[in-house]
Structure 1
């Protein structure tokens, strides 16, 4: 499917919306209106979420054809939303909209090709279940930091690019979009880390919401990154392969996979400790780490702390 985000969501809306379809028709697997949406208000709500999702895919995954959506994109988007403590109701709405998107894609591809493509977005439900009441951390907290992040990172050394990306996330707190594409002009050389007083390499990244800022990584990782860019002009990852590398390494090590974002949790915990060692108060540490992680509010960092 080609066209703008809004054109594609409109085409998918046509595939699943049926004004006047009754509840009995919508729950009958033998009826043509099975699993259709009949409410304008509900459809508008779903489509707004689709548009947001599609814009996310276009910006962060450079995806233009929404027929290519897979379960890994669903996971990445829900994790992306979870970072800012969405309400339970909003997360449930996102999950429901993505469930209807699965059906819409099946109906659309069936009408287009004569047979519906095989889409399975059921992972959205397990992500939702694990994040229920996520705005009430004390009631349902899930610590996603890896117990031994360096063990995991070292298991990625077969692919030097994935190894470097993981180190950037762990050492600098970057989101995956911050290390998936790095150009030469983003390398700013070295400077002293004001917290640890160590010499660090500096990368300028642009991440969620267009936030631009520096991240600090070890000299060794910076030199590896610099060498890659010297050879290939750019450091660029295929995210799907990077996610699979993390997953495969976790399976090999027999540990729970928390995706690439788990490394960002490790950064937050370690960095809070470094601030404390440098004599900063708890509140000052929260603010400092939040700023480094490109958050606007200090309390967001509490999300990463057990």
Structure 2
């Protein structure tokens, strides 16, 4: 499909046959139920939804907005210019980004409903254009729902911890998960990037060119395949080097890391729910902004630098992390 993400989303909505404005949704649902019964299929809300279109103007506007945002995200982060090539990896990354900037569970559920309907529209589009291709974006949505959405609060919220230094100090030393917590807190990387580090990713000791302090660096592949690097305190970097020498690489269970953070949060009187491991990334953004500005950077300069360090394509994404 050609055109801008906006044009492609509009074409998919208006030309796939999914849009049924002016048609009775109730009648359509009854028809879908009868069809499912005749085919011996289970009659569930999900199966009915998969066999009905979009009937309301407000729903149309909401879905069109999500489809456009997903198309823009896939183009900017994966170089995907044709939404007919959308796949599960793009969907999971997009939803993770939405959770990352603080969307609550209710808002995320609306996004997921829109993407499920987008799959239906894409399948209709493929049939109309004689293409033998079946999309399976719903599986990606369910993967995200199971792995991430259950830990997110219902409403939008600031996900930074009130006292991250106390939380990290409450994590006992000596385990892989405790080292992972310090890596996440100091580098601002995502949990998947800070719990799996090979020897080839170690970049040695260096001087932070913005603050003059001594740091240890490791590289990692961020979202969209982008190469990035994280800064660690000399102590944490030394522990990481030692662990890799002894074990061949550094690896920690993400679930174990989350449990460790949860225990430390409870021990220091802080809420874990709604903050999770990702809360430390929010804390990093605020602390790094303050640090860079204390060393002479303007706010705009600091924002641009923190955005680069957090692998954000746009500074406005980082702005979400600076809400108080």
Question: 1:56, 1:88 → 2: CA distance?
Answer: 15
Question: 2:216, 2:147 → 1: CA distance?
Answer: 41
Secondary structure in 2 aligned to 1:130?
coil
Q: CA deviation at 1:144?
A: 1.6
Secondary structure in 2 aligned to 1:22?
helix
Secondary structure in 1 aligned to 2:152?
helix
Query: Which of 242, 249, 252 pairs up with 2:267?
Result: 252
1:248–1:87 distance in 2 versus 1, CA, 3 Å: closer
Query: Which of 79, 85, 88 pairs up with 1:52?
Result: 88
Query: Which of 123, 141, 148 pairs up with 2:163?
Result: 148
1:34 corresponds to which residue?
A: 44
Give CA-to-partner distance per residue, 1:69-127, whole Å, 9 cap, x none: xxxxxxxx955432257799983444447999xxxxxxxxxxxxxxxxxxx96984883
Q: CA deviation at 1:154?
A: 2.4
Give CA-to-partner distance per residue, 1:174-201, whole Å, 9 cap, x none: 1111111100010010110012101100
Query: Which of 188, 205, 214 pairs up with 1:199?
Result: 214
The higher relative CO (CA closer than 8 Å, separation ≥ 6) is in 2
Query: Which of 253, 274, 281 pairs up with 1:264?
Result: 281
- The TM-score normalised by the length of structure 2 is 0.61
Secondary structure in 2 aligned to 1:143?
coil
Q: CA deviation at 1:152?
A: 1.2
Moved more, 215-224 or 205-214: 205-214
Retained in 2: the 8 A contact 1:99–1:122? Answer: no
Q: CA deviation at 1:53?
A: 6.3
Question: 1:255, 1:87 → 2: CA distance?
Answer: 19
Answer yes or no: is 1:228 the counterpart of 2:253.
no
1:190 corresponds to which residue?
A: 205
Q: CA deviation at 1:300?
A: 1.5
Retained in 1: the 8 A contact 2:293–2:299? Answer: yes
2:184 corresponds to which residue?
A: 169
1:81–1:199 distance in 2 versus 1, CA, 3 Å: same
Retained in 1: the 8 A contact 2:100–2:278? Answer: no
Larger Rg: 2
Secondary structure in 2 aligned to 1:194?
coil
Question: 1:289, 1:123 → 2: CA distance?
Answer: 25
1:22 corresponds to which residue?
A: 30
1:164–1:42 distance in 2 versus 1, CA, 3 Å: farther
Tell me the C-alpha RMSD between the 2 structures: 3.8
1:251–1:128 distance in 2 versus 1, CA, 3 Å: closer
1:179–1:124 distance in 2 versus 1, CA, 3 Å: closer
Question: 1:285, 1:247 → 2: CA distance?
Answer: 31
Gaps of 5+ in 2: 1-27, 35-40, 55-62, 71-85, 118-144
Retained in 2: the 8 A contact 1:95–1:128? Answer: no
Question: 1:42, 1:182 → 2: CA distance?
Answer: 46
1:90–1:235 distance in 2 versus 1, CA, 3 Å: same
